[in-house]
Each structure stands twice: as structure tokens, then as C-alpha cells.
A and B are shown apart, each in its own frame.
Chain A
Amino acid sequence: MTGHRIETRGLIDRSKPLSFRFDGKTYHGVQGDTVASALLASGVRIFGRSFKYHRPRGVWGAWFDDPNAVVDIEFGGITYPNCQATTTQLIEGLVVRSVNAWPTAQRDLKGVLDFAHRFLPAGFYYKTFMWPDWHLFEPIIRRMAGIGTLNTDVQDNFEAAILHDHCETLVIGGGLAGLMAARTAAKAGKSVLMIDDHPEFGGSSYRYPNDAADAPSNWVDEQLSAIEDAGGRVLSNTTAIGVYDHQAVSILTDRGVGVAPVVRKLRPENVIVATGAVDRPITFSNNDRPGLMSLDAGAEFLARYGVLVGHQIAILTNRPDAANVAAQLENAGANVDLLDPKSGAAKTIGSQTIKGLQLAGHTHTCDTILASAGLTPMVHLWRHAGGKLDWDEGRQTFVPSTGPDWMRVIGAANGTFERDALEEEARSAALNAPSPKRRIYSIPPLLPDTNNTEGRQWIDFQHDVTLKDVALAHRENMVSVEHLKRYTTLGMAGDQGKTSNVAGLAAMAALKGQKIPEVGTTTFRPPFVPIPLEAYRGAHRDTQVAPLKRLTLEPDHRALGAALGEYGGWLRPAWYGEDDEKSAVTRECQMARSAAAIMDSSALGAIEVIGPDARAFVNFVYYNTMSNLKPGRIRYGFMLTEGGLVFDDGVMACVDDTRFIISCSSSHADAVMAHLEHWRQDSFDPDRVHIHDTTQNWSTVTIAGPMSRAIVEELGVLDTLEDLPHMALKFGAFEGVQARVARVSFTGDTSFEISVPNSSVSKLWQQAIAVGKPHGAGPVGAEALIVLRAEKGYIIVGKDTEGETMPHDLGFGAPRLRKSAAFVGDRSLHTDNANREDRKQLVGLSVDSGEPLLPVGAHIVTGQGPDRRSLGYVTSSHDSVALERPISLALISGGLAAMGEKVEICHMGSSRHATITSSCAFDIEGTRIDA
């Protein structure tokens, strides 16, 4: 017989039974149970299998400090992976599965790995699976070794509320010390928030029901009332997951299985950390057997859940208060042996269940062992905040030393384990008074014996790190704590070393002949306990992160049956009408080349540069010379990064000497704006040049094609189009409102961009459609436009360029050699790298008519066998309607000097051929642009 429920004790409601399943069998618990307490009460010992060797593992701790009982929980058809059985509140109908065990924890077929343990030491995976390629082995190893099963279904309505909160004093931990501190602070007039991760406040007070005249729960209730009467607030089931820069604290409220957590972020003026301490395991042979638990786990399961963890219990600890725990266990009906771990080497007897404890040659019969090598204060939040630690020889652990003045650590978290010392410490923290001196407290050292690394002496239970592994790491010179951690994975399990770190450091210190503080500790990082990823997301997703930009003309596009799609953050018409995409795009391409395309170009950025230094400014931010651009004229150009890379391309119009209008890629307007502001404030007098983004104020209708001139004339925005050559700008009026007409072309045909304030664009659009119809013109969407521009070899930055592309790679080499004024990125265009002849350059690729498209991303390859390598790849690929054959753009090493060469194209294992051509495939002479 092992664990069982007793008649008294506990914070549970025995009148409310709950049923659940564990590894295929039905079990019963009661309201107030955790999954772990209900299973222990039912006599279950084996909760899962360890990560590497599949050793049977039971519960070690009663709360967040348990590294072993990790389970998958299914509820309402959704699987929640890797839940801690010890902290998951039981509810009716949970389906619980042990992880890492197949088919069940009790009978694990992979348990055979344990017999192969000699071949699986630390670093085994690194060393064995390197040749020829780790990736060959990875899938198999991952399947074998993984913890938990991820559910790919997305649960509806599982959205964490992420809130902002405020208080003056935040008390983290509502045990004895926390309650006292919160009460004092609240009574002193502070706005107090006290949190505790348990459903009930009170911490360890329930373990000793006979200590106080009143029952502990009465004392706890009294403190809570006093706090709330003084205006304080309390939150149960709430844990502090991290302390961040500038006094920010995130706290998370667990709302049970199936309900998303609530996260609160706050910046209290003072933080009082009263997070308690947890038992350290003793490092000895087979110390991982199910039935060996921490001393406090034995006390907590009894006090909170009315579960007596065994009948014949051996207590093995150096803790001076062990007798108190023993007395409680005996009162509850157990036989207890209080043993001295210093008396000699220890070893558990029994494999699946504990049959006894061998100590200094004597065998003590027992079914349960409660062990502790001392208490480890939970100093994580103190370290998050930048607080320092001291090694305390008496306590045999690290305790808080100096740190931020707004944070105080009290109670067991500060190494104050005696209850009569708590009141003064809590009071001083609450009132910001000097803290009392830490009391002398001394326990006999109980560290891993590195002279005897034989047997299986576990240090990290979940990740299967033994004393022998630490010794191996030492032999292989992985002696720094950070190397030790990564080489053995010590402290990398779900509990992040809460139970294992001190023993691991102590072992390494002993092996190196150093003192523990000389070895140091690894970094403590948030979150304090594993939390669902949802806690980081909340409502921050989809369009709430990146809201779609909407066109003024969207209702008009919808009225025309547009298929809308997202392009660079804008919701734009992809094509119009009822046809499927291919037919619609073909029809729109034909219409654009034979009559005219009427397009909404409002998403293009429109940034105005104004002021006496505007001309000098645009000349500096453009690769191309802009100093001689005359009023009323437009020039195409590139903006570069200071590294000489193509950042954006587009046209710029000169209105007059003090006003320029930059048109940039639609997806890039915000970035271009930031880029311009940077240089304006860095290199210019910001009072003499101003930048104004008008993208959201103006809308643009583009009419492009052989019939465009006739249509624009009929619209009457300008009196005459005679004096408006290609790349010129004129102001006119549309129905009494100022309008701009620009002759620029992204299709290669005669093209007019008419810009008006948003309020007038719907009328302009409708008139253009009406006027265009008799000419055979109509609306054209983004998909057809992308084909039309590709026929001309006009690039889309970010698609036909990459993170190394410079303007001369695109055939625009003149300013690099001729522009004498300084411009952004200039010097970077003259490095050895920029001068290489094998740079990837933009070219066209042609295949024979009737052949399929070259896939985007397909590689241009050269050489055979081991010499085979990529020269570049296809960036754009379309069926040209006008040319009746596929066209492609590609970035190819040395491509501009290889016109007419036949190259091999490789994609997903198949090989084809294509011919390198100019990037412009259609109307190469450019006669259509001014037709």
C-alpha cells in the first residue's frame, strides 16, 4: 500500500467527488485536488518516464518544484501538452496521459533504453550523430525523446486577456511572510496587491495545525480581511512570471484547464518577494525511484489534500525541522523512521516501487522516502531584477545580497526559515525600514560525493543528468556553468533547475577543487514557471498587430466585383469580375495592351519634401542625380541604404525648387518616411527641409494603354495634354478640385496618373470607367499589373532584388560612376565586393513557347557532381499574354555579361534549360511609352 486519503486534514471538499482518466483508467478525486494529489490518493506512484532513459518517475515536489509528473491533458477535445500534474487543478472529465511513455507510464516499451544507459552519457547525441549529418538522425531522435504531444488544432476563444494594472506595493507570495507584509503595507496606507499561485493563501501554514491557538485557515482569513479592509487587493492562482526592465512585473492568473490565462502587467513602486523555498534532492544511488519525494511534498500533500504519501516512511534529511514533519505524518497514521544522511552512503532498494533504503550498510524497510538536502530559496525574481546572490555556508545555498532598492525578499525566499523571525522581516519590508540581520542558521553540508560517482545518482530528474554526467563534463573540460548546462542539459528541463542547480554546481565545484560561489550560477530568466504561449500573444495577432490599410475606392472596387487581396499591407483589387484568376488576369492584360487599363494606384506612397534645402536633400537621398531635375519633370531613381543596397525605387516629381513629391513602393511608405526623417535630422537643418507623408490623403487613378490619351482628354482634368511628355507633371482640376497629372508608366504603355484628394476620387474613378468603356478600357487589378511590369523588366524591390543587390546589378550603373555629389550609400558602391564581376545581376530568362513557367525560386546551376553550384535564382515568372510565352526575371551571378547563353535550371530535383536575355522582354525599343 502506498499513498492514500485520510479522513481529516486538507483544504479539499470531500463531498464533491470528481472523476477523471489517467493512461486509460478511471480515477476519482475531490474538489480541491490537483491531478497529482488525486492520483497519489488513489495509490498511483508512476506518473511518467524520464526524458532520455525512460526511467519510471513519480512525484518529487508537491507544487511548481516537481520536475517529474509532466502530463498531457485532454479536455473538451483539445490536448494541453506538458502540464504539471502537481499544479493542475482537477476538474471533472479530464483525460490525463503520461508523456514520454508508450503505451503507458506503468509499462513503457522504450524503457529498454535504460538498460542501454552506458551508451547514452552526456553529450552522446552531439558526439554520435554528427557524421555525416545530424539532420538524418534528428527526426528519429526527436520522436523518441520529445516530451508531450503538440496539438495542431487551434482552440476557439482561447485568448489571454493581457491587462495593465497598478499598485504601490506588490507582494508576491501569500504565505506567512507575504500575508504579514501585505497587511502591514495596506494598513500603512499603501495600495497593495498580493498574489499567490495556490488557490488558497497561507503558504506552509497548513502543515502545522496545532501550532496556533486557532486553525491556520482562521489566521489566514483574518489577514486577508485586514488587507482588504485597508483597501488592498488579493489574487489567488496567480504567479509572477518575470520581473523586467524598469520595474515591470508580469503576473499570470491560471483559470484552469481549457480557459486562457489572464496576464497583468504592472510597475509597482515596491515589490516584496515572499516566494518561499523548495527542497533540494540528496544525490545518491537510484534517488529517482517513484516513492522518493521531497520532505515538504510529504508535508504539503498531507496538509492541503489530506493525502498520506506512504505507510512506512523513511525521512532522510539534514533539516532541523524534520521532526515536526515526522510528527504530523505519525499523527496521520504513518510509521516514520528519521534517518541521518550523514551516517553513510545511501541507496534505494526496489525498482518500480521502493522496498527499502540502504544507509551505511543497514537496510531500513519502507515504502516511501522523504528526502531533503536543505531548502533552496526561490530567488528567481530577485535575479530577474538584477539582485545579487551570496553563497551562505550555513544554509548551504545562495541567498539574496545587494540589489535594487525597490525590491525586498523576505521569508524562506530570503533564507529565513524560522517562523518567529518572519514578523519583523515582513514588517520592515512593508514599511521600507532597514531589514533585520539574517539569523545564523546552520545545517550539515549534504553535497554530491564526487569521489563516488558510481551507480545512478540523479541530479536533474527530468533531463536524466546524473553525477557521472557532471564528472564526464568535467573530464571533457566543459567546466564553466554555462557549458555544463548545455553539455549535460542540466537545469534545462521544465523546472529550469529549481531542484537540480545547487547539486550540479556543488558537484562541479568539488571536481574542480573550487568553492561553490567560485563556480557561480547560470542566469535566471523569465518565465518563473512554464506558461502557455498564449500568455504572450493575447489579442496581439493578425490585423490587430498589422492593421490592413484600406483604399478610399474599396466600395467602388467591390461594386465592380473585385477579388481583393493583401499587397504590401494594403487591401487591393487583385482582379475584377466573376472569372477565375487566370482568365481574369489574361483578359485584363489583353485589355491593357489593346485599349487601356484603369487602375487604383493610391497605395503608392506619396511623400512631399518641402523647404529651401529640399533640392539638396533629395539629391542626397537618391542614388540618381536630382539636383538638375526641372520643375514639372519627373525622374526614376533608387534610394539606397548606407551600405549601398537598393532600399526602394520609384519616381520623384519636381513641383518647384522647394517642393518635390516622392512616389515610393506601396508597402514601403512607412519605412521610406523613417529613412528620410533619419537623414533630414542627421545631415540637414531640419528647419530648412520638411517631409510630409500624404499617402493617406491623396488617391490616384492610373490610365495606361494605347487609348489612355483619348480617355484622359475626355476627363478634362487638363486643358491640353500636348505639353505633357513622358516623365512630366502638371496641375489641373477635376470638378473644381485640384488634381495632379503625372506621365509615368509601370506597364510600358502611355500612362497617366491622376491624383486628387480622397474626397474626389470616387467620382473620378467612376467617370474614368464610364469614359473608358467605349474605348474598350476597364478596371485592371494588381495581378495583371504585376505581369505587365514583368514584361517590361520593371522590378519590384524585395522580389526582384535581395539583401545584396546594388543599383548597378540592375543595370543602373551610371550615377555610381558619374554622380559627384555625396549621396546615401555612395562609398559602399566602390568596395571590392561592389566591384566584383560575379555579382548577382538582374536578367531575363526565356524558354520556348509552349513550355511551362520556370518556378520562382528555381536555381540556375553550373557544373556537375561535387562542383555543382548555384549561380542565382528565378525571382519573377509569368505567362506573358502579349508575347504568348513564359517570361522570367532572375538574379544570376555575372548575368549581364552572359546575354544569349543557355543555362541549366534546377528545381526540386528536375532540370531544364533557358536562355539569358535582357530583363525587358516586351517592346524593347520603347515605342509604346509615348505612342
Chain B
Amino acid sequence: MQRFPCPFCGLRDEREFRFAGEAGKTRPDTTQEVSDKEWANYLFFCKNAKGPTCEIWVHTTCQEYFVMERDSATMEVLDTTPMRKDVA
């Protein structure tokens, strides 16, 4: 059982968190032409890297999304940062 530091609530049990996606993915502008390939890349493909990763997680009890850098091989949490612009 892992423990993750929510940038707002501190160190909490992993059961309170959900994975929301790999960081750095941008939703294509669907008002413009988006190819099947581009959409499939966005929708289905992940780097799923072994080692250091940068991911978006949500702390379900406070509902805040944040960026978590962690090592997917050692499970070490390297850093968490809020996504809020007003929280530096």
C-alpha cells in the first residue's frame, strides 16, 4: 500500500487517490479536423514508462487534481505539484 502526498492535504493512503492520466497530453481541438491516428494517440496510447514518470492524479477526498512525479519501478514518489495557478 503506497502513500501519496496530496499538495493540499499531505501524506495520505493510496486508496484515496485515482490515476487520471499521463501528464503532457493535450486534447486535440475537435472543432478542427482531427485524424483517426491523432485521436487514437490521444485516447488510447500511453508511454507507460518504466522508471521516472510524470502523471496526473486526483485526491478523491478533496477532489483536487495534481501532478505527481514518481518512479513506476521503485514506486518512489519524487514530487507532487498542484495544478492550480494561484497555488505556487
User: Chain A residues in contact with chain B, CB under 8 A?
Assistant: 244-246, 248, 265, 386, 642-643, 674, 677-678, 681-683, 686-687, 820-823, 826-828, 831-832
Contact = CB atoms under 8 A, between A and B. Distances in A.
B31 interface: yes
Contact of A245 (B18, B20, B31, B75): B75
A820 B31 contact: yes
Contact of B30 (A248, A643, A822): A822
- Interface on chain B toward A: helix, strand, loop, or mixed SS? loop
Given A245-B75, A246-B2, A386-B74, A827 B34 contact: yes
Contacts of A831: 36, 39
A155 B39 CA distance: 53
A248 B58 contact: no
Given A674-B63, A687-B86, A821-B31, 8 more contacts: A245-B2, A642-B43, A643-B43, A677-B58, A681-B64, A822-B30, A827-B28, A828-B43
A555 B34 CA distance: 55
Nearest to A267: B3
A682 B74 CA distance: 28
B68 to A, nearest CB: 14
A683 B2 contact: no
Sorting the interface of chain B by its residue count into under 10, 10 to 19, 20 to 34 or 35 or more gives 20 to 34
B65 interface: yes
Closest 8 CB pairs of A and B: A681-B65, A245-B2, A245-B75, A822-B30, A827-B39, A248-B1, A826-B30, A246-B2
Contacts of A244: 1
Contact of A827 (B1, B18, B30, B84): B30
A643 B39 CA distance: 10
B50 interface: no
A265 B36 CA distance: 48
A300 B50 CA distance: 45
Contacts of A643: 43
A668 to B, nearest CB: 16
Nearest to A681: B65
Interface of B: 1-3, 18, 20, 27-31, 34, 36, 39, 43, 58, 60, 63-65, 74-75, 83-84, 86
Contacts of B65: 677-678, 681-682
A248 B30 CA distance: 45
A245 B39 contact: no
14 contacts: A246-B3, A246-B75, A248-B1, A386-B74, A678-B58, A678-B65, A681-B83, A683-B27, A820-B31, A822-B29, A822-B31, A826-B30, A827-B30, A827-B34
Nearest to A642: B43
Nearest to A679: B27
Given A246-B1, A827-B39, A677 B63 contact: yes
Contacts of B63: 674, 677
A687 B84 CA distance: 9
Nearest to B64: A681
Nearest to A831: B36
A754 to B, nearest CB: 30
Contacts of A677: 58, 63, 65
A617 to B, nearest CB: 14
A243 to B, nearest CB: 11
B20 A678 contact: yes
Contacts of A832: 36
A605 to B, nearest CB: 16
B1 A245 contact: yes
A499 B4 CA distance: 38
A248 B84 CA distance: 31
A12 to B, nearest CB: 39
A681 B58 CA distance: 10
B8 to A, nearest CB: 13
Contacts of A248: 1
Contacts of B29: 822
A828 B39 contact: yes
A687 B18 CA distance: 22
A322 B3 CA distance: 47
Contacts of A681: 58, 64-65, 83
Contacts of B60: 674
A687 to B, nearest CB: 7
Contact of B1 (A265, A674, A683): A265
Nearest to A670: B60
Nearest to B20: A678
A817 B60 CA distance: 36
B53 to A, nearest CB: 15
A686 B63 CA distance: 12
Contacts of A823: 30
Contacts of B83: 681
A677 B3 CA distance: 23
Nearest to B3: A246
A265 B15 CA distance: 15
Nearest to A821: B31
B64 to A, nearest CB: 8
Contacts of A826: 30
B57 to A, nearest CB: 12
A598 B45 CA distance: 49
B23 to A, nearest CB: 11
Contacts of A386: 74
Contacts of A265: 1
A17 to B, nearest CB: 45
A681 B84 CA distance: 9
Contacts of B1: 244-246, 248, 265
Nearest to A643: B43
Most buried by B among A643, A681, A822: A681
A687 B58 CA distance: 17
A386 B75 CA distance: 10
Contacts of A828: 39, 43
Contacts of A642: 43
Contacts of A245: 1-2, 75
Contacts of B18: 674
A687 B20 CA distance: 20
Nearest to A678: B20
B6 to A, nearest CB: 14
